[in-house]
Structure 1
Amino acid sequence: MPHEAYIIDAVRTPVGRKKGGLAHVHPADLGAHVLSALMGRTGVDPAAVEDVVFGCCDTIGPQAGDIARSCWLAAGLPQHVPGVTIDRQCGSSQQAVHFAAQGVMSGTQDLVVAGGVQNMNAIPISAAMLAGQAYGFADPFRGSTGWQNRFGNQEVSQFNSAEMIADKWNISREAMEGFALESHRRAIAARDQGLFDNEISPLSGVTHDETPRQTSLEKMASLQ
């Protein structure tokens, strides 16, 4: 009989804005808060969890040292439960869910916690790309003969990736700004309708996503 994988429940902290209400919360405490809330909501025996799989892009500073296990231990949960942190860049947390599901579907695991954690106020996005400079490495790629033979020294960043995508599929700046504007409008409407309330566990006085307000949207609209 094939094994099926099911998502029992899902919970998260509010999404903070830059220098917002969650800016100074340690990443391990952010993850610990969610894990504690998840165990409480589901009534699952934490000792029965077989692995904790978290995604994190920039595992330096407070996010280093296997942040998945750090979060679990910071939550006061059983020490015998292992954890692993994975980096698939922007798809890291989604990949964590895939790996958890694959473990269950393979029959090698029964109960896995999957998610992700990252505090970009504390550790800016792509900080890990520059962390090696203190040791004489300009970035993760230069110095690799194989990499340079294939790609040269071209910029590796989301900015360059966005330009390449826009060029390949002929996407205009106006179209992308319109898409972004509508995305923010939908996020605010969904929050105002309470559609996120069930999945958010309030933390440090922050009860809702710190999404841009209408004044910000009006400024965006004026750019079009």
Structure 2
Amino acid sequence: MRDAVIVDAVRTAVGKGKPGGALSGIHPVDLSAHVLKALAERTHLDPELVDDVVWGCVSQVGEQGFCVGRHAALGAGWPESVPGVTVDRQCGSSQQAVHFAAAGVISGQYDVVVAGGVESMSRVPMGAALSAFGRPMGSLVEKRYDNFPFNQGTGAEMIAEEFGLGREVLDQHALDSHARAARAQDEGRFKGQITPVAVTGPDGTAHVFDTDEGVRRGGTLEALSALKTPFKECGVVSAGNASQISDGSAALLITTSEIAARNGWTPIARVHTAVVAGTDPVTMLKGPIPATAKALRRSGLSIDDIGAFEINEAFASVSLAWQRATGADYDRLNPNGGAMALGHPLGGSGARLMTTLVHHMRDNGIRYGLQSMCEGGGMANATILELV
């Protein structure tokens, strides 16, 4: 029986998604091509073997339009015979890319496939496709859901209220995320997963970018409590306890155990269970809760069997609500920091989380890891990985 294993996973450091951010001068196709080339070099992969490049991207317009996955392969200098496809499952796009890649490998449609994603939010702003072409829901969806908010910040406020999450609790979660990320940087935990990128700064000087740009040190509850709550008057969600707008890309090499052995590759992890779930599209961000339950049910594992969790910190209320609903050990949740500290490059985030997860599992001998992330429209992917 065929399986799906992750041979290696690589990412860029995450840059601030604004003019002057470390990666803001790099076209998203070029950024994607960079991680493809790095992945091939690290694994001694002959690109001729690649059956497909399955690539996540959310804002598929402008520089990220016209199938960024295909152009990434061409930009990497890979043979023209290597196709590419671009996936949009909102913030879970590149996690879904891994699911599609794993399913293709297990079914025999692929032997060797690369999955990953990209988002350059400094060059293609979040919501760019909406502002260009109007509201995408259509009259029937808007009729079904009165006053459809299409505002994730509002959903995050609703979740905080539902789970009784106050401002101080959310701000402390944000401080923990930054502290964990800073500790991971100081201890060199990211070095094995980050491929350096040569960049040119706003002043014209060239340097190598290899450290996540959004991590803040020395924050305090007092400083965070002074930030405005833009989604609700006297609310609890602020810029300080929400994910950062970011640029970044990540890629994973996926094949079967047999093909890996044939090519001299030692896999890191096996895709044990992969599911997707839907939830209401108004609060829209609670999807990781039912997705996790579905993954555990199908896997036959319990929450206590999982040694590390990567739950995307779109907002502090999302990951904390998930933790309270599942009863997961808080110390195992985003042990190297999450999107509030490291950033959230939308279509690249699923692959970034998985890259961080598989390296953390290997470095610490953790048998099972689980990843999940909320997605616009009320969805979530959940993946359980097993260390090989």
| Same fold? TM cut 0.5 | yes
Deviation per CA, 1:141-163, whole angstroms, max 9, x where unpaired? 2xx33112201333202112212
Q: Which residue of 2 aligns with 1:210?
A: 213
Q: Which residue of 1 aligns with 2:107?
A: 106
Q: Where do residues 189-204 of structure 1 align in structure 2 (5 Å cutoff)?
A: 189-204=183-198
- Segment of structure 1 superposing worse, 167-176 or 202-211: 167-176
Q: Which residue of 1 aligns with 2:79?
A: 78
Alpha-carbon contact 1:188-1:211 (below 8 Å) kept: no
Shift of 1:126: 2.5
In structure 2, what is the Cα distance between the partners aligned to 1:129 and 1:191? 36
Q: CA RMSD of the aligned region, Å?
A: 1.5
Q: Which residue of 1 aligns with 2:13?
A: 14
Q: Which residue of 2 aligns with 1:166?
A: 160
Q: 1:190 to 1:102 in 2, by over 3 A?
A: same
Q: Where do residues 38-117 of structure 1 align in structure 2 (5 Å cutoff)?
A: 38-117=39-118
Alpha-carbon contact 1:181-1:221 (below 8 Å) kept: no
Q: What amino acid is aligned across from residue 215 of structure 2 in structure 1?
A: P
Alpha-carbon contact 2:105-2:111 (below 8 Å) kept: yes
Alpha-carbon contact 2:40-2:46 (below 8 Å) kept: yes
- Segment of structure 1 superposing worse, 96-105 or 163-172: 163-172
% identical aligned pairs? 48
Q: What amino acid is aligned across from residue 210 of structure 2 in structure 1?
A: T
Q: Please state which structure has a larger fraction of its residues in helix.
A: 1
Deviation per CA, 1:33-67, whole angstroms, max 9, x where unpaired? 00001011101110110010111110111100001
Shift of 1:26: 0.4
> What TM-score, normalized to structure 2?
0.53
Q: What amino acid is aligned across from residue 43 of structure 1 in structure 2?
A: H
Q: What amino acid is aligned across from residue 196 of structure 1 in structure 2?
A: F
Unaligned runs of 5+ residues in structure 2 are 199-207, 226-388
Q: Which residue of 2 aligns with 1:180?
A: 174
Alpha-carbon contact 2:181-2:215 (below 8 Å) kept: no
Alpha-carbon contact 2:178-2:217 (below 8 Å) kept: no
Alpha-carbon contact 1:51-1:82 (below 8 Å) kept: yes
SS of 2:116's partner is strand
Q: Which residue of 2 aligns with 1:30?
A: 31
- Segment of structure 1 superposing worse, 172-181 or 24-33: 172-181
Q: 1:56 to 1:221 in 2, by over 3 A?
A: farther
Shift of 1:211: 2.9
Alpha-carbon contact 2:33-2:72 (below 8 Å) kept: yes
- Segment of structure 1 superposing worse, 56-65 or 118-127: 118-127
- Count the aligned residue pairs: 214
Structure 1 runs (4+) greater than 3 angstroms displaced: none
Deviation per CA, 1:82-104, whole angstroms, max 9, x where unpaired? 11111111111111111111111
Q: 1:122 to 1:163 in 2, by over 3 A?
A: same
Q: 1:63 to 1:213 in 2, by over 3 A?
A: same
1:140 pairs with 2:136: yes
Q: What amino acid is aligned across from residue 182 of structure 1 in structure 2?
A: D
In structure 1, what is the Cα distance between the partners aligned to 2:222 and 2:57? 33
In structure 1, what is the Cα distance between the partners aligned to 2:155 and 2:100? 26
Q: What amino acid is aligned across from residue 75 of structure 1 in structure 2?
A: A
Deviation per CA, 1:131-184, whole angstroms, max 9, x where unpaired? 21xxxx3x212xx33112201333202112212222332222221111111001
Q: What amino acid is aligned across from residue 67 of structure 2 in structure 1?
A: D
Alpha-carbon contact 2:69-2:86 (below 8 Å) kept: yes
| Counterpart pick for 2:151 among 157, 175, 195 | 157
SS of 2:108's partner is coil
In structure 1, what is the Cα distance between the partners aligned to 2:144 and 2:216? 44
- Segment of structure 1 superposing worse, 100-109 or 112-121: 100-109
> What TM-score, normalized to structure 1?
0.90
Alpha-carbon contact 1:53-1:83 (below 8 Å) kept: yes
In structure 2, what is the Cα distance between the partners aligned to 1:180 and 1:13? 22
Deviation per CA, 1:11-34, whole angstroms, max 9, x where unpaired? 111111243211111000100000
In structure 2, what is the Cα distance between the partners aligned to 1:111 and 1:221? 51
Q: What amino acid is aligned across from residue 171 of structure 2 in structure 1?
A: E
In structure 2, what is the Cα distance between the partners aligned to 1:92 and 1:131? 21
SS of 1:80's partner is coil
